[in-house]
Structure 1
Amino acid sequence: MAAIEGTIAGSARPAEGMLTGRLSALMFMQFFVWGAWNVTLGLVMQTVGIGSLIGNAFSVGPIASIVGSFLLGMAAARYLSPKMLMVILHLVGGAILFALPAMVTPERGATFVWVLLGYMILYMPTVGLANTIALKSFGDRVDRFPFVRAFGTLGWIAAGLIIGWAGLSASPQIFTIAAVVSVALGLYSFTLPNVEPDAPRDESVLRQVLCVEAFGLMRNRSFLIFITCATLISIPLAMYYAYASAYIGTAGIENVGGTMSIGQMSELAFMFSMPWLYRRFGVKPLLLVGMVAWAVRYALFAIGDGGDSIWAIYVGVALHGICYDFFFVAGAIYTGTIASPKGVNAQAQGMLTLFTYGVGMLLGSQIGAYLYAQLPANPSIADWQQMWWYPAIAAAVIAILFQLSFRDNSKADA
C-alpha cells in the first residue's frame, strides 16, 4: 500500500510541476504583450510629433479596465470558458496591434488613440482571466499563485530588454513586437487548463453584464473594505507610474531607466517569496504591509534629493516590490478565496481589475495631473518633495483605516 501511495505521490509531483510551468508561460506572455509597448509609448509619440496626445493615450488603460470588466462579466458568466476568451481576445487584439504602427503619425494621431482604446478594452479583461485560470487550476494551493505571477514581471522586464536591444524604444514597431507575442499567446491559450466558467445563473443578461453577483460579494463587510482600500491605493500607484521618472531626473540621477528597473527587480524578488509569506502570515498582514509601504515610499520621495538624501530615492524605488506584490498579488488571492464558494471567480477578478486598474488608476491620473499642474513649469526638487507628501499622508490614513476595520473572514465564509 505504501508503495502504491509513493507511486501516486511521485507521479503527482511532475504533473503539478508541469501545471506550474504552463501557467508560468501564460503569465510571461500576458505581461510581455503589455510591457512591450507601454513603457516607451510616450517616447515614441514624442518622437513622431504627437506628444500632445500622450495624456490621452495613457488614459485609455483605466477607461478600458472599466468597460472591459463589464464585457468580461457578461461573457464569463455565460457560456465561454476562460481559456476560450483568452484565445479570442488575444488573437483579435494581436491583429489590432499589427495595425497600430501605421497610425502613429501626426495625421492619424487621434485615430491611433481611439484604436488603442479599442485594443485595451480587449486586453484588460485578460489580466483578470489569467488570474482566474491560474487560481482555479491550483485549487486549494493558492500559495503557488505568486510564484507563477512572478513570471509576469519577468515577461515585462524581458519585453523592455528586447525592445532596447533591438533599438526600437522610439519606434512604433514596439506594437509589432507586442502583436507577435499576443498572437502566440492566443494560440497557446488553446492548451491552457480547461477551468470551468462561472456557472450560468437564472438571471437576466443585464444583471450578468453588470456583474451583479460579483458586486453582491461586497455585502461581506471585510471584502467591501478591501475593495475600497484597493481602489484608493491604486491612486498613488498611478502617480508613481506617471511622475516618478520625472522626479528622479530632477534629482540629478542620469540613468533614470536603470533606476526605475530597481523597482521591477524588487517586485520580482518579493513575488518569489510570496508563497512562503502567504502561508506564514496570511492575507491581512500582507495587505497591511503593502499599504504601509506606499506611505513610506512617498515619505522617502518627499525627503529625497540629489545630495546627501539621494539614498531615499533609491530606497523608495526599491520598495516597489512590497508596494505592489504585498497588496495587489495578495489581493487577487483573497478575491479568489471570497468568490470561489459563490461561483463568481471570473466576475470577481474582473471587478477587482475594474476598481484598481480602472477607477483607482483613473482617479490617480486626474489627481496627479492636478497636483502636477500646481508646480512651476520647471519644478525644482523642493517642488517635487512637497507634492509627494500628499500621497504619503493619504496612504498612511488608508493603512490605519484598513488595520482598524478589516477582518479576514474568508475561511469562515467559505
Structure 2
Amino acid sequence: MNNSIKLKLSLMMFLEFFVWGSWFVTLGTFLGNNLSATGTQLAAAFSTQSFGAIIAPFIIGLIADRYFNAERILGILHLSGAVLMYLMFKADSFASFYPYVFLYMLIYMPTLALVNSVSFNQMKDPAKEFSIVRVWGTIGWIVAGLLISFFFVWDSPTAISEGLLRNTFMMSSVSSLVLGLFAFTLPATPPKAAMKGKQSISEILGFDALKLLKDKDFAIFFMSSVLICIPLAFYYQNANPFLSEVGLSNPTGKMTIGQVSEVLFLLLMPLFFKKFGLKTTLIVGMLAWVVRYVFFAFGDAGAGTYLLIIGIALHGICYDFFFVSGQIYTDSKAGPRYKSAAQGLITLATYGIGMLIGFWVAGIVSDIYLSDGVHEWKYIWLIPSAIALVVTIIFLVFFTDNDFKKASELRRTLKKIPKTGQLGMD
C-alpha cells in the first residue's frame, strides 16, 4: 500500500466513525431531555442499530457483493445518511424522529462492512496493515466526543436545556456528506461475488456457518456472546444520560476515555492472550462488565467521581478482551471455508440479536426505576452487573475448548523445532 492510498483509507475510517460518534453517544440524553422520550422509547431508538446489524448482511451479500463497487455504495449510503441526519436535526417529537433514525441505521450499519472491504482490497498483508488504518476510526470517535464536550460544550446542563444538543445531528449530517462525496475518490473495489462466480444464497448470507454450533464449546461461546450484549446495551443506552443526570461535567468528552482505553488494551491483549490463554482472557473481559457497573452503581459526581472514571476506562477490557478475543476464537474454529460467514454470524448474534434484547431490557428497567423524573441509577446498574456475573459463571463452568488449547500447543511446539538447515539435512 502506498502512502497516498493509506492516507485515503485512514481518512475514510476517521470520517466513518466520526459520523457515528457525533450523535450516537448523546442520543439518549437528547431524546430524554429534549423530546421527552421514555425508557421504552429510548430502547426503540437504540434498537435501530440492531435492526441495521440484522439487515446489513442482506444488503452487503445480495447487493454490494454482487452488483456494485463497494466504494460507490459507501458513497450513496452516506449521502442518503446526510439527508436523514438533517431530518433528525429538524424533528421536534419522538414520533417524527423515530422513522428517520430507523431508516438511517438500516443504511449506516452496512457501511461498517463496506469500509473494511475497501480497506482489505488494497492491502497485501491485512494482519499487519489494517490496524494502522482502523485506529483512525477510533480517533474519529474520540474527536467527535471532545468537540461536543470541550469545544462546542453542547452537553452542558445549560446547553441541553436550550436544546443545543440537537446540533450533534447537524455535525453528523455535514460529516456524512463529506464522506459520501469523498467515497467516490476511493480505490475501486469491485463486487466479490462477480469475481468468485456463482454462490448460493446460504453462502452469501453466511448461514453455512450455523454448522459450527454443533460444536459444544462454540455453542456455549455463541450463547455467551448473545447474553453479554444485554449488559453492553445498558452502557450504550444509559451511560451518557446517567453521567449527565448525576452532574458529571463534560460527560461526552470524558466518555472518550473508554475509546483511549480500547486502543491501549488492544495493544496489551496479545500479551495477555499469550500468557493466560483464551478462556481466561474471555472471562476477564466478562468480569470487567460486572465491576464497571458496580462502580457506576456506587459512584457519583462528587467524592465518587473516580469510580465513574474507572468504570468508563474499563471499556477497553470489556470490549477488547471479550469481543476481539472472540473474533480470534471464531476465526480459529471456522477454518478457511467459513471464516467470513462465521464472523458475520457472530456480528449478527451480538450487535443484532443480543443488543436488540439488551436495549429492550434496558428500556424496561429504566422505566421501572424512574420516579418523578429522576432515575434510581444504583438499581439500574446493578441489574446488568448481575446479568454479566451469571453469564460469566455459565461460561466458566461449561466452556473448555480443548481444540483451541491443542492448536495453541501445536503452534508452540512447531516453533521450537529446528529448521531443516540447522539439522544438516539440506
- Normalising to structure 1: TM-score of the pair? 0.78
1:290 CA drift (Å): 1.1
Flag the 1:72–1:406 CA change in 2: closer, same or farther, 3 A. farther
Alignment of 1:203-242 (within 5 A): 203=200, 205=201, 207-208=202-203, 210-242=205-237
Q: Which residue of 2 aligns with 1:124?
A: 109
Alignment of 1:181-192 (within 5 A): 181-184=178-181, 186-190=183-187
C-alpha contact 1:247 1:384 (8 A) present in aligned 2: yes
Q: Give the distance between the partners of 2:50 and 2:276, measured in 1 at CA.
A: 32
Q: Which residue of 2 aligns with 1:30?
A: 16
Deviations 1:251-296 (A, max 9, x none): 4433433432322322232234345545555544432221111111
Flag the 1:123–1:248 CA change in 2: closer, same or farther, 3 A. closer
Q: Which amino acid aligns with 1:36?
A: S
Q: Which residue of 1 aligns with 2:416?
A: none
Flag the 1:364–1:288 CA change in 2: closer, same or farther, 3 A. same
Within the candidate set 51, 64, 79, 2:66 is matched to: 79
1:221 CA drift (Å): 3.2
C-alpha contact 1:283 1:408 (8 A) present in aligned 2: no
Deviations 1:337-396 (A, max 9, x none): 444501551x33332222211111111111111212221414878x32233222212212
Q: Give the distance between the partners of 1:109 and 1:251, measured in 2 at CA.
A: 24
Alignment of 1:126-145 (within 5 A): 126-131=111-116, 142=127
Q: Give the distance between the partners of 2:122 and 2:273, measured in 1 at CA.
A: 18
Structure 1 unaligned regions, length at least 5: 1-14
Q: Give the distance between the partners of 2:396 and 2:140, measured in 1 at CA.
A: 34
3-state secondary structure, aligned to 2:166: coil
Q: Give the distance between the partners of 1:401 and 1:137, measured in 2 at CA.
A: 42
Q: Give the distance between the partners of 1:157 and 1:339, measured in 2 at CA.
A: 33
Structure 2 unaligned regions, length at least 5: 155-163, 412-426
Q: Which residue of 2 aligns with 1:367?
A: 361
Q: Give the distance between the partners of 1:400 and 1:370, measured in 2 at CA.
A: 25
Q: Which residue of 2 aligns with 1:177?
A: 174
Q: Give the distance between the partners of 1:22 and 1:280, measured in 2 at CA.
A: 37
Within the candidate set 308, 312, 317, 1:313 is matched to: 308
Q: Which residue of 1 aligns with 2:419?
A: none
C-alpha contact 2:12 2:179 (8 A) present in aligned 1: no
Q: Give the distance between the partners of 1:58 and 1:34, measured in 2 at CA.
A: 13
Q: Which residue of 1 aligns with 2:343?
A: 349
Alignment of 1:187-336 (within 5 A): 187-190=184-187, 199=196, 203=200, 205=201, 207-208=202-203, 210-278=205-273, 283-305=278-300, 308-336=303-331
Flag the 1:188–1:334 CA change in 2: closer, same or farther, 3 A. farther
Deviations 1:219-268 (A, max 9, x none): 33333322222211111111012222343345443343343232232223
1:121 CA drift (Å): 1.7
Deviations 1:7-66 (A, max 9, x none): xxxxxxxx5988876654443232122112323345655787575765543221111111
- Answering whether residue 397 of structure 2 is matched by residue 397 of structure 1, we say no
Task: Choose 61-70 or 357-366, whichever is displaced more.
Answer: 61-70
Q: Give the distance between the partners of 1:48 and 1:246, measured in 2 at CA.
A: 12
Q: Which amino acid aligns with 1:356?
A: T
3-state secondary structure, aligned to 2:58: helix
1:319 CA drift (Å): 0.6
Q: Which residue of 1 aligns with 2:139?
A: 154
C-alpha contact 1:287 1:331 (8 A) present in aligned 2: yes
- Answering whether residue 381 of structure 2 is matched by residue 388 of structure 1, we say yes
Q: Give the distance between the partners of 2:272 and 2:129, measured in 1 at CA.
A: 11
3-state secondary structure, aligned to 2:371: coil
Q: Which amino acid aligns with 1:170?
A: R
C-alpha contact 2:71 2:188 (8 A) present in aligned 1: no
3-state secondary structure, aligned to 1:37: coil
Q: Give the distance between the partners of 1:223 and 1:322, measured in 2 at CA.
A: 22
Q: Give the distance between the partners of 1:252 and 1:109, measured in 2 at CA.
A: 25
3-state secondary structure, aligned to 1:58: helix
C-alpha contact 1:260 1:317 (8 A) present in aligned 2: yes
Q: Which amino acid aligns with 1:351?
A: L
3-state secondary structure, aligned to 2:249: coil
1:334 CA drift (Å): 3.4
What is the RMSD of the two structures over their aligned residues, measured on CA atoms? 3.9
Deviations 1:52-84 (A, max 9, x none): 7655432211111112233334347x6358xx3
Q: Which residue of 1 aligns with 2:418?
A: none
Q: Which amino acid aligns with 1:368?
A: A
Q: Give the distance between the partners of 2:125 and 2:281, measured in 1 at CA.
A: 19
